[in-house]
Every structure is written in C-alpha cells, then in structure tokens.
Amino acid sequence: MDANLRFWRTEGQSFFQRFLLWADVLDPLLLLKSSDEIRRTRLLIQTSEKTPSEPIQNDETRKAFLLSLSSVHPDSAKIIPVLFRAPAFLPLSLPLVIVSSAQHQAKHAFFFQFVFHTYTTAFTLINGNGTAKCEEYSLEQKQIFCGLGAISYAACVGALPLVFMNRYTLKSPVMELVIKKLLPAPVLGLMSAFTVAVVRSPEFENGIEVMDRNGKVVGVSQKAGEKAVKETAVSRAALFGTTFFLPAVLMHFVERAKFARTPRALASVRMFMITSVLAGMLPVSLSMFPQCGEIKRADLEPEIQSATEETELFYNRGI
C-alpha cells in the first residue's frame, strides 16, 4: 500500500479529519514545488520511522505528506502533471464555472461547457484508480474515446434547454426562471457524475486492486471498482450541483431585495457567491467518502473471499 493511502487510512477516518486534510492539501502554493522537491519529500516519507498505525505528529513529516498527497498518484507513485493536481482544480475550474453559468446563447453555452467538461474529465482520468488492467485492449485509448463521447454528450445536454428556449421563443418569466436558474444545477451535477462514470468505466468492468490492512494485494474486484466510481460520481455531482444551485437561489433574493442595482454590481456579487460556494464545497465533496476506501469481504467476489480472512479490505477511491 502506498504511503499516501496509509496516511489517508490513518489520518482521514472521519469526515472532519478528511475535511481538514483536504483544506491543507488544496493549498495552491503546493503547486510551486518542483519535481526534485517532491522526490525528496517521497524519500523522506519512505525513510520515516512512522508506522502506518501511528498518528503523524512531527510537523516536517506532516508537510512532507501534504506535498505527497497533492502531487503523487498513490497507485503508480508517479508525479501528477501540475495542471491536474488537486490544488490546481479550484483555480482552473472556477473561471470555467463562472463563464459557463453566465451564457444565454446555446452555441456559447455548448462551447464553454465542452471546455469545462474536458478539463474535469481529464482531471478524473488522471486521478482515478490506476490499477485497472486489461490484456485485450489499451485502457488508456478506451478511456480517451469514451471520455470524448461523454464530454460531447454532456455539453449538448447542458446547452439543450437554451436551444429550446431560443428556438421556440419560450421567454416567459417562468420559463426563463426554470431554464436559466433552476435547470443548470441538476443538469451540470448529473452530467459531471455521468462523465466520471464513463471515463472510469474500466474500473468496474475490469476491477481494481483490493488490499488487506498490511497493504498486500489480495485480488482484483469489480465490486470495489463500482463502489469507488459511484462514490466519486456522487461527490462530483454534489460539488457542481451545489455550486450552480446555491448562488442562483441567493442571487434571486439579491435581485428582489435590490441590494445591487447595477448590472456590474450584480455580476460582482454573483462571481463572489460562485467563488465562495465552490471553494467551500470542494473540500466538503472530497471529504464525503474516505480516500482509502473500505469494503467488507462479504461484499466482494467469492475468489477474493476465499483468498483472505480479513473482514475489511481497502482500495484507492481516486478523485
């Protein structure tokens, strides 16, 4: 078991613990660390005398783990490209969310949602579980092709309500409220979950590695892969569904109360609300489920149940 997963299993047992950890891991300043610093950090962790069951109390060791968690994939132990590390997710996705939510023309909405889903899908692909394998074909090629299809479909679905509204002149106040303020949240949330499920489909089709508490790989489980993908899809839907829904509701009351009277003031308030909700929801959504996932032996395939006496097994959930 990689040091990152051991750390999550030891230090991230409760939602509150995971939330505090993610708040530190998402620090954008960690993106400034060089590859050499990351490698030295991993060496420090590997030579550390801390055991997997002992809480990390040394400040230097904890900082080393935070850098490792933010920069190194726990399955391959490779350094993640800087644009797709966890601390880069908020700075890069925030402008795309703001621009996507402000579009009222179908073509513009399609384009910006295509860009948005391209980034989030690539992030999901790179940060997913890396233990799924198949000898018949290249998993990477399948994931890329499936991802492109999912991105195009999600962008089309996101722009479809605007197409109907503009084409059939459905511009009554009620229709504008529904299409421009109420529909985007569930649509984007569902499409975000959909892209996660599609691009990580090899994990529940071919299975992912499950380990015992000592880190020994017991077998490859499709049920564990299904659980990992489902949890990630739910957390992604909660993240972007809430990010679109809550600011829209709050802006409705701001407009009615006339707190901001000019279009520029309204746009500033809206941007502030989206930024605040996304920044708050990101660590919340990532903390909904353990990063080092657990699954009961009784819920796994018979061949895995017969291979171990452990009552619980572990896997990398991915982001």
Given this model, what pLDDT does residue 254 score? Answer: 83
- Give yes or no for residue 199 having a pLDDT over 50: yes
The two three-digit tokens of residue 240, written as one number: 């972007």
Name which of 71, 60, 61 is nearest 27 in CA terms. 71
Backbone angles phi, psi at 293, to 5 degrees: -65, 150
Q: How far apart are CA 305 and CA 195, in angstroms?
A: 31
Percent over 70 (pLDDT), the chain = 91
Q: What total number of domains does the chain contain?
A: 1
Task: List pLDDT tens digits, range 264-281.
Answer: 888 888 899 999 999 999
Given this model, what pLDDT does residue 236 score? Answer: 95
Given this model, what pLDDT does residue 53 score? Answer: 47
- Give yes or no for residue 191 having a pLDDT over 50: yes
Task: List pLDDT tens digits, range 58-90.
Answer: 778 888 899 999 999 998 889 999 999 999 999
Given this model, what pLDDT does residue 308 score? Answer: 85
- Give yes or no for residue 124 having a pLDDT over 80: yes
Given this model, what pLDDT does residue 289 score? Answer: 94
Helix locations, 128-262, DSSP H = 139-167, 173-177, 184-199, 201-206, 222-257
Contact (CB, 8 A) for 181 and 245: no
> Structural domain of residue 180, as residue ranges?
3-316
- Give yes or no for residue 92 having a pLDDT over 50: yes
Of 23-27, 114-118, 144-148, 287-291, which gets the smallest average pLDDT?
144-148
Mean pLDDT of the chain: 87
pLDDT confidence tier of residue 169, bands split at 50, 70 and 90: low
Given this model, what pLDDT does residue 275 score? Answer: 94
Given this model, what pLDDT does residue 135 score? Answer: 59
Taking residues 199-208, what's their average pLDDT?
A: 90
By residue count, the chain amounts to 319
Taking residues 194-218, what's their average pLDDT?
A: 91
Given this model, what pLDDT does residue 170 score? Answer: 58
Task: List pLDDT tens digits, range 44-60.
Answer: 888 774 544 455 557 78
